[in-house]
Amino acid sequence: MSILLRHVIPPPHSVLYSTSEKSKLNFPSFRNPRFSFSSIKATAATPMASTTKKVLVPIANGTEPIEAVITIDVLRRGGADVTVASIEKQIRVDATYDVKLVADSHLSECSDAVFDLITLPGGIPGATNFKNCQLLEKLVKKQVEDGKLYAAVCASPAVAFGSWGLLNGLKATCHPFFMDELKSSGAITVESRVHEEGNVVTSRGPGTTMEFAVALVEKLFGKEKADEVSGPLVMRSNHGDEYSIKELNPMQWTFDNVPQVLVPIANGTEEMEAIIIIDILRRAKVNVVVASAEDSLEILASRKVKLEADVLLDEAAKLSYDLIVLPGGLGGAQAFAKSEKLVNMLKKQRESNRPYGAMCASPALVLEPHGLLKGKKATAFPAMCNKLSDPSEIENRVVVDGNLITSRGPGTTMEFALGIVEKLFGRDKALELAKPMLFTHP
């Protein structure tokens, strides 16, 4: 199964979106479609073992895309067979931020299937739409009756599970804005980032979803598999604390009007990193241009997710950017390194003293061999750090050296993106974004 993402490029100097007054979570929504992804059945990279677990992830109009994507990605890393099902009349749903999600199937096609886990992403009005879906309610109640796993994050524990009476007398958590509603449903509220109570697992928001997904892997496959999955994610050990970045040779990052940021993608790009970077920068009202370094707009990302860029790199190269930032992924980084156009853009960015950045495999495989780390301190994915000529700062999760920012892996991406927001708009703005996402304690 893979995910297709599309994003329509707006005029380069337009204000991209405004905060929706209707969103109880105070997350921005876009006036025009910005980015979409669909989940379609595909052959797994390796044969499925007999212990493969089947997972249902429903999606709806108003679903929170970060929560959906991270959950799907991490569960697939654990070996789960994930089915993404639309509860709407159409397979394609309008998620928050005008993200278009296209499912594998309609929920009605899953009515006779047996799942080891049903897990709901959050988002408003996504959770409300879940609540009002009689078929989904029937499926989840049957899941509970059969003693099988069920889970939800953000608004969904309160709005969906709570309204269905599935948490009565059980300890559970959800997004802080919905804790009163969760309590009124009969649940015993706790403020844990992830809480397990028998066969139900609940969590709080976008910033807790990776922990949530790893917990689901452990429930399905055991601690050994969860540890195997979580290690390469480079997750934080101090979840919820204020993030920190290591900054050397401080300089002010400047821009005119709205910051213009280029995010290249290529075959093998790490999709969680790309999605989180793009999402958080748009929350900060940055104009993000996604450009394919391949011959076509569509690329196949590292976890078999299909991404479709706004433009080809040749077209993107006609514009100038306040920041160029590379997600990681082994194949994607290798493609970036081979792109003469992209390397030249990065070199011009450096020469003009404008900011540029990279994370995961990209600092080691793109920046280092092309001299873009010369005289700079950087970090990278742990297994790639031996390729850096200066390893003195590799243990830091985010390193800023003047106009360069680097980071380590999927589990450091929120810090990386928030670090960019901090450099562009200040730390108060970054924390303002981090808290409602539950990346830091509210």
Q: In this prediction, what percent of the chain has a pLDDT beyond 70?
A: 86
Q: Which residue has the higher pLDDT, 46 or 399?
A: 399
Q: What is the mean pLDDT of the chain?
A: 87
Rounded alpha-carbon distances, angstroms, from residue 283 to 15, 297, 433: 12, 24, 7
Tens digit of pLDDT for each residue in 253-310? Answer: 999 999 999 999 999 998 889 888 988 998 899 999 989 999 988 777 787 766 668 8
* Whole-number pLDDT of residue 94: 79
Spot the catalytic one: 110, 154, 360, 385: 360
Name the strands in the sheet holding 404-407, side by side, starting at the edge strand that comes first in the sequence: 246-248, 398-401, 404-407, 356-359, 323-326, 260-265, 287-292, 311-312
**pTM, to two decimals:** 0.84
* Whole-number pLDDT of residue 101: 63
Alpha helical stretches, state H, 254-300: 271-283
Tens digit of pLDDT for each residue in 94-151? Answer: 777 755 666 788 999 999 999 999 999 999 999 999 999 999 999 999 999 999 999 9
Is residue 5 predicted with pLDDT exceeding 60? no
**How big is the CA angle at 30 (ends 409 and 92), to the nearest 5 degrees?**
80
Is residue 43 predicted with pLDDT exceeding 80? no
Tens digit of pLDDT for each residue in 202-246? Answer: 999 999 999 999 999 999 999 999 999 999 999 998 999 999 999
* Whole-number pLDDT of residue 102: 66
For residue 154, indicate whether it is catalytic.
Answer: no
**How big is the CA angle at 144 (ends 139 and 145), to the nearest 5 degrees?**
95
